[in-house]
Amino acid sequence: MKEAVVRWGGILAVGVCVALFVAFRVPRGISALSGKHEVMRQLQQENADLERDNAAMRDRIRKLRDSSSEKELEIRKRWKLQREGETSLLPDPARK
């Protein structure tokens, strides 16, 4: 009886060692799992950044929709317009 327990214990120990070896060495093992966790973390960070950018854009759109002065400033900036009597300074393109 004692010999059978020792034999099965040895077989079990060898099986556990083989399972651990396979888990750590095969391409789909624990190292691949940790790599996938890193990719997931990067994608979650990218999603958070995009969500923050989207919120800023939504806020900008809301300001442009609600405020006529914001609209005017945006139009003047994009089309490089100025009011009569205003002076603007432009950088010299030859100097760099």
Query: Considering the entire predicted model, what is its pTM?
Result: 0.54
Q: Which of 22, 45, 24 is nearest to 33 (CA)?
A: 24
What are the DSSP calls for 18-62, one per residue?
A: HHHHHHHHSTTSHHHHHHHHHHHHHHHHHHHHHHHHHHHHHHHHH
pLDDT at 96 over 80: no
pLDDT digits (tens, 9 = 90+) for 24-69: 676 676 677 788 899 999 999 999 999 999 999 999 999 999 999 8
Helices vs. strands in the chain: H and E counts, helices first: 3, 0
Reported as a single tens digit per residue, the pLDDT across 8-22 is 888 888 888 787 777
For residues 59 and 63, give the distance between their C-alpha atoms in angstroms, rounded to a whole number: 6
Using one digit for the tens of pLDDT, what is the confidence trace for 57-87?
A: 999 999 999 999 899 888 888 888 888 888 8
Domain boundaries defined on the chain: 2-79
